[in-house]
Structure formats: C-alpha cells, structure tokens
Homo-oligomer: A and B are copies of this chain.
C-alpha cells in the first residue's frame, strides 16, 4: 500500500527536510524539527501525491484511499498530545494547512481550531479556564469553516462576508463597537446565528462531527490548489500544476491560556545587521497574530535586547522591568530551552532561522522554522561570519548572498528614524536606488547653477533628455513624471549611481509656473523634497540620509567571488570619475563608453550643432576638427583611469536630432549663437525629426552616411591612446561600431577605422594595439553573426536595443502597457530589467555561437542594462560570454552573480 500520510511528533517523524517534494516545505520542516529534538505539536502530513489524485479522481475516491491512514494519523496525535478528538473534557483541536513544495503565501486555504463543537467547546473552556476564549475560538472556527470549506466567502472580495454581516448586526443590537466588547453570551448567540446562516445558504447543518469537519477541511485545502488565485500565482511563478500541495494536520496549541502562556517570533541572528545575537519579540497570554497586530507592545526575548529597546524607546529600566520584561526575565527556564532550540536549529540548517513559538502553560512548542529574511548587509555579514565560524564553506558563502541585495550597501540611505515621520506625496518607479534630499529645480542649467553655489537640489522634469545631463550630474537626485525603469533619466542616473524616481505619473509639472502639484499640494521651485530611489517614494520635505558603509566582510566576499568566477566584469562609464568608481568596485575594464555623452558639455555642443547644420562634408569636417581635441582629452582621462585595462569605446550612436534644441527658447538661443535665423534652426530640427527615431538614422548608419564623423572619433581615440603611451600609461582601446545589421555595414566602418589608424600611426610614427568590434543589438545582427564575426574582433550584446526590437517594445513608450502586462501575468517581469532568456536570449545564444563558428576566439560581452542584473548575468555565463559590463554601482552585484553562476555551473 502506498504511504500517503506521514506522522510526526514527540521527537519522531516519518519524513525529513529532504522530503519537500512529497511533504511540501512546511511538512518537511515540521518532520525535521522532530528529528533534531525540537518540540513540535504532533501532527501528520498528507502527501502532495494525494493532491493530484484529488484533482483527477475527486473527493470520494481520495477519501476512500486515505481514510485508514488519516484515522491512524489522528490517533497518533491523540496519543502524543493526550487529547481526544471531539472530547467534552479533553478535546483535541487541530489546524489544517496547505504546504506546497514552493512557498505560495496566502494562496491556499487554512482552517484553525478544527474539532470544536458544542461538546468540545466546554472542554476548551474548562482547560483554558477562559470561557470567552473558548467561545470566541468556536465562533471563529464556524466562520472560517463556513467561509473556506463550505464556500460562503463571497467571490468578490469587496462583497461583505455573510458572517461579518451577522457580527455587525449583533454589535449594533448590543450597542458596542469592537469585537472584544462582545460577551460570552453574545458569542454563543453568534455561533448559533452562524449555524443558521450556514443551513440557509448551504441547505445543510453545520457539521458537528469532528471527522466530518476534518474531511471537509482536507478536501477544501486540496481543492484550493486549483482556485483562481493559486492558478494565477503558479502561472506567474512557473510552478507546475502537477506538483500539488500537501495537507498538514497538527494539534493546536495556545499561547493565550494564561500568564504561563506566551507566543513569539525570534531570529537566530540580527536580520538587519547580521550580528550574531539571538533576538525576537513575544507577548504573554497572547495569540500568534497579537505579536504582529500592534495592539499590544511586544516585549523583547533577551534581556540585552530588552534594555537596548527600552533605551531607544525612552522607557525607564523600572518601567521596562515591570511592564515589558524580557522572556529571559519572565520565564527563565523556557528562555533557556528556547536558546537551546535556536542554536540547534541554526546549527542544523546552517543558516539564520526565523522561528515561531508558542508557550502553552509553561511548555515550549515550535510551530515553524524557516530561513530568515534579512537585509543585504545582514546577508553579507551572516555569510562571511558563518564561513569564519566554519559553519559553511566558501562556495556556500558566495551562494548565500542575493546579488541584487548588495545594492542596499552601495548607495546612501535614509536614516530609518527620520523616515518614520515622512509624508509620502507621490510614488514612481524605483529607478535608481539610494536616498536623496534637496530643493526642487525644474531646469538642468539651474540645477547646475544652484549646485555651484552649494545648494542640494533635486532635478524635477516631465522627462529628461541628453541636454539635461550636466544638470542631472549636479543634482542629488532626479524625479520625472514620465518614463520607465529604462527611461533616459533612469539609465543615466543608475550609471551615475544617483538616486532617481521615474514615471511618477501623478505629478503635474508646470515648467512655466515652476510648480509641481501632487495630491493637491503645490510644490514650488526651491521647496524641499526627498526621494527614495529604492522604493520610488517622493517625500515632502527634508529627510536625513547617511552614507553606506562597505564593511570588511563586503571586501572579503568580493575576493571570494574573484576566486570562483569565470567571467570578468567591466563597467559602462563615460567619464574618468565613473571609471574610478567602477575600478574601485572591481571593474576589469570598460565595456561601454558612450561618446555622445561627451558632446553636450559647454563649447562642444556648439561644435556638434555646427556640424549638424553644415551643408556638406567640408563644413562637417570643419566643425568636427573643433571637437577632435576635446574628445581626445576625454579619452585620455578615461585611459588614464583604466591604465592597463581594456576600454571599449562606442562610436556615435544617437540620432542627430538629440543634439538640437526642441524648445522654442532654446532654438532662439542656438540661432543667436550660430548667427543664423530661428527659421533655419527650426527647419533643421524639423528635417531631423523622425517618426520612430529608435529605428531611424543613427548608429553606424550615421558613420556610413557621414564617414568623417567616424574618422574624427577614431582619430581622437588613437591619438589619445598614443599620448597616454608617451606618458607611460597602458591604453587598450577597443573601438565598437554600434547598430550593425549587415556585415557590409561593419566592413565599411572597419575600413574607415583601419585607414584612419594607419594615418594616425604614420603621422605620429608610432603604433598601438587596438581592436575593432561591434554591438550586437539588432536582431538581424544576431541572426547573421557568423558573417559579421568575419569582420568583428569582438561582440558586445546591446541587450537594451535588442530587447526593444525583439519584443517590438519602445522603452520610452512601453509605460503605457508594460505595467498592465506584468499585472495581468502576460509578462512575468520587465524584460528591460531581466533579460528575456526565452526570446531575446535565443538571439544572444545564437549570436554567440554563430559568431564563434567563424571566429573561434571571438571575445563576447554584454553592455546592456542586463549586464548588472543577476539572473541575466548568470545567463551570460551559461552562453559562454567573456565578460559582462554594467554601471559602476552594479559592478559588485555582477561580480557576485558571475561567481554564483560559475559555482552553480560546476
């Protein structure tokens, strides 16, 4: 006979932690705790296999199949707990809970206090010495059972629960406001009215036989595996329907049976800092939910913790001792037992544990143990401490830290206390993490001006454009009303490691009036606001921030990563400043320098515009000649910062219209500067405008229609490299051609590059090694990568554009449907943040393989936003890339993800 029911209790269990697939996560851990001597209320787990049988064969056949085993399971509980199911003296009450292989919080049904009926309630009252508690438990049970098992919960969650309706009626009749003001008699009346309602709606009496109750509840839990919420959740999380859920039936224990009872939660280490101190909160004579409900002030478990808490809360030692004693003081024996349990659990699971416990009548019961959630800092500290303690090995330590969570360690953060009183006035997307506080300005040039006189400013824009770059750099943070996680503002801000909240749609920004209206409040230029780039919150007024601390453990972790990684991590950096930041974070070179960002500063934009306005090649060359020395000096700075490391420089990429002003006032200014009419400026702007600039005249299409631009840039790069060489700096330029779609495009650009190089080398009578490669960012480039690799010495996947074109999504416009798509589960994640391995990934893999089919030693990397996103980094490892490149502040994240990929791969 197949075993469908696994019992546990009193230090024994038929299952183990490793039986997760069969018993679900919860059931497996309950079994495991028994094996290691942790006191757990007895119970049994019905396997996930039964769920599948239930789905396919229905309830009757399922019950027939498992009846004997479940009955034996209940006997097992009765025996250990010395209670009897439905007994008037000593009733056994049980909880019936779901528990799938993967955690699906809140998705499926639970029934508590099962076993209560008119007899058992008497026994419970007697045992607890608290008749009100007993009848309140009873009425809660009838309500929960009615809702969950008998299907009386309204489908639409806005509709009122029939039981709540009755409660409201009774409260109204009794003239009381709160549930707690209802008397025992009121509760008894409620139970009766509930039962009448059940009969009325379902046509059947409420089941009084505990066995009937139990079978009903088991069926309901199995059935809930296929409720709509659960199906949607599974679809989102890619959980197969055939996994099924287990059902856990476990004896109830109560922490609210008197002053010798209590309930609490605890962590084996500090979840905020990672410090190795046991800590937690509890409440005497309370139920589990009371601790978190915030009605009563929870007390600390340890004495030390209690004292620290009191100090922060401004409570005197006297008061603390009397009103909020620690568990260590209040129940020293149970406390000792709990300490032993926590040590045992942590040593057993070899990770920080999050415990739930109940003390019933002086006896400790553990209800749950699981790996504790923690901050990024705690992740790092706990992993490195446990490595030091010998609890885990190096690889495990590396795998213990979620790469994304490192972000928290790398940006300024709000002072937690200061944040408590913050008034959130709008919410946008958490576009670039960190915290920023400053005074509102609406124009980039003014941001620079204010900042230059020492003001902290937040640049507030409907959206940003490359013209705003210097202003963004000067601001402490950037707030936009439009644009997604990969809008211009977001991308640039992340690159700068600067706090940014984008797409805060509720903001009404009026540039003319210099106001920003949100939630009815009008903010003016100069008003203080604060941005939380990690949550997307916009906060009224000043909030104190603090700088992150990169602890010693962080450095140790990074060193460990380098020991195990196969891929290098480079950075996307456009300035010497960014390069230095990235290098300090461990970048092994630059994977992407966007030369166009250099075009906006000061005099340069004038020369750029002169070039754009030129009628012919000669005019363009004249203007380009002015740009040459400026670009050259930019590159020198970057080569210097990256001395000895490769620097990939992308040739001009954006369409030319990004360099001309689109607002009337700026057009006039430009006309005056250039000594031409506003009409001429307008005509040029108009002639450059495009329906779909993303798919327009940009990238190598510029370089192939205006070869002189490529010539100037290549000259600037190589002259800079030679100048550096003369100064003893080891410059390693890699010239990257953007937006290649056909081999011939690259051939033509390569010819220009090589010819220019020969000229420069001849002029300077000196050579330097350099490479010529290309971005793979157009689907066709990936599809024909074998041809392209015949010319390209390296590939760098530009997965931002590749994602745009493969999905047909414009990053700038996708805000109109992407959030809805993610909401409806059409997309699991934003493909601009997490590389779409199914679709875009095929092109990346194909491009890599095809490229290496014609050039086996082809160097392959990625320089899209995805290069700093952990799951995407792991994908890059899988397809065999040589490196990933990301913004400076994501370099440590990518290093960790790359190391994890290598370890997981081995």
Contact = CB atoms under 8 A, between A and B. Distances in A.
Interface of A: 690-697, 701, 704-705, 739, 741-742, 744-745, 748, 777-780, 783-784, 787, 801, 804-810, 812-814, 816-817, 820-821, 824-827, 836, 838-840, 842-843
B810 A690 contact: yes
A745, A801, A807: residue with the most chain B Cβ atoms closer than 10 Å? A807
A838 B690 contact: no
Contacts of A705: 816-817, 820
A748 B806 contact: no
B778 A741 contact: no
Contacts of A804: 695
Contacts of A838: 783-784, 787
A704 B826 contact: yes
A808 B808 contact: no
Given A695-B810, A705-B817, 16 more contacts: A691-B693, A692-B694, A692-B695, A694-B695, A694-B810, A696-B810, A701-B821, A741-B809, A744-B826, A745-B821, A745-B826, A779-B806, A780-B839, A783-B806, A787-B838, A805-B808
23 contacts: A690-B813, A693-B813, A694-B810, A695-B695, A695-B809, A696-B816, A701-B817, A704-B817, A741-B807, A741-B808, A742-B827, A744-B827, A777-B808, A779-B779, A779-B805, A779-B839, A780-B807, A780-B808, A783-B838, A783-B839, A784-B838, A805-B806, A805-B808
Contacts of A690: 810, 812-813, 816
B783 A842 contact: yes
Contacts of A817: 697, 701, 704-705
A809 B739 CA distance: 11
Contact of A741 (B697, B820, B839): B839
A748 B824 contact: yes
B704 A748 contact: no
A687 to B, nearest CB: 9
A692 B695 CA distance: 8
A842 B847 CA distance: 13
**3 A-B pairs closest in CB distance:** A695-B810, A692-B810, A780-B839
Given A784-B839, A813-B697, A820-B704, A807 B778 contact: yes
Contact of A824 (B704, B807, B808, B812): B704
A840 B690 CA distance: 24
A780 B806 contact: yes
A843 B694 contact: no
A889 B66 CA distance: 71
A695, A748, A836: residue with the most chain B Cβ atoms closer than 10 Å? A695
B821 A704 contact: yes
A791 to B, nearest CB: 13
B748 A780 contact: no
Nearest to A742: B826
A779 B843 contact: yes
A748 to B, nearest CB: 6
Contacts of A812: 690-692
A850 B705 CA distance: 38
Contact of A694 (B691, B801, B827): B691
A691 B810 contact: yes
Contacts of A701: 817, 821
Nearest to A741: B807
A806, A827, A836, A840: residue with the most chain B Cβ atoms closer than 10 Å? A806
A783 to B, nearest CB: 5
A826 B824 CA distance: 43
Contacts of A826: 704, 742, 744-745, 748
Contact of A808 (B787, B801, B813, B842): B801
A864 to B, nearest CB: 15
Nearest to A803: B780
A269 B609 CA distance: 61
Contacts of A809: 695, 741
Nearest to A842: B783
Contacts of A696: 810, 813-814, 816
A693 B814 CA distance: 10
Contacts of A801: 808
Contacts of A691: 693-694, 810, 812-813
Contacts of A814: 696
Contacts of A780: 806-808, 836, 839-840
Contacts of A744: 825-827
A843 B783 contact: yes
A842 B843 CA distance: 12
Contacts of A843: 779, 783
A804 B805 CA distance: 9
A694 B820 CA distance: 19
Contacts of A779: 779, 805-806, 808, 839, 843
Contacts of A777: 808
A465 to B, nearest CB: 11
Nearest to A809: B695
A785 to B, nearest CB: 11
A817 B839 CA distance: 29
Contacts of A805: 695, 779, 805-806, 808
Contacts of A825: 744
A232 to B, nearest CB: 12
A838 B784 CA distance: 7
A872 to B, nearest CB: 16
A695 B808 contact: yes
A695 B777 CA distance: 16
Nearest to A777: B808
A748 B838 CA distance: 19
A690, A691, A704, A705: residue with the most chain B Cβ atoms closer than 10 Å? A691
Nearest to A838: B784
A816 B689 CA distance: 11
A483 to B, nearest CB: 10
A808 B783 CA distance: 13
B704 A808 contact: no
A691 to B, nearest CB: 4
A745 B828 CA distance: 12
A836 B743 CA distance: 14
A230 B691 CA distance: 38
Contacts of A816: 690, 696-697, 705
A776 B783 CA distance: 17
Contacts of A739: 808
A692 B812 CA distance: 8
A694 B804 CA distance: 11
A838 B780 CA distance: 9
A839 B804 CA distance: 18
A884 to B, nearest CB: 22
A63 to B, nearest CB: 34
A826 B745 CA distance: 6
Contacts of A778: 806-808
A836 B691 CA distance: 23
A396 B693 CA distance: 48
A690 B693 CA distance: 11
A783 B778 CA distance: 14
A753 to B, nearest CB: 16
A649 to B, nearest CB: 21
Contacts of A810: 690-696
A829 to B, nearest CB: 12
A783 B842 CA distance: 7
A814 to B, nearest CB: 8
A42 to B, nearest CB: 44
A804 B780 CA distance: 10
A826 to B, nearest CB: 5
Contacts of A820: 704-705
A404 to B, nearest CB: 24
Contacts of A787: 838
A705 B441 CA distance: 35
Nearest to A694: B692
A812 B801 CA distance: 19
A694 B805 CA distance: 10
A825 B739 CA distance: 18
A333 B488 CA distance: 83
A690 B827 CA distance: 21
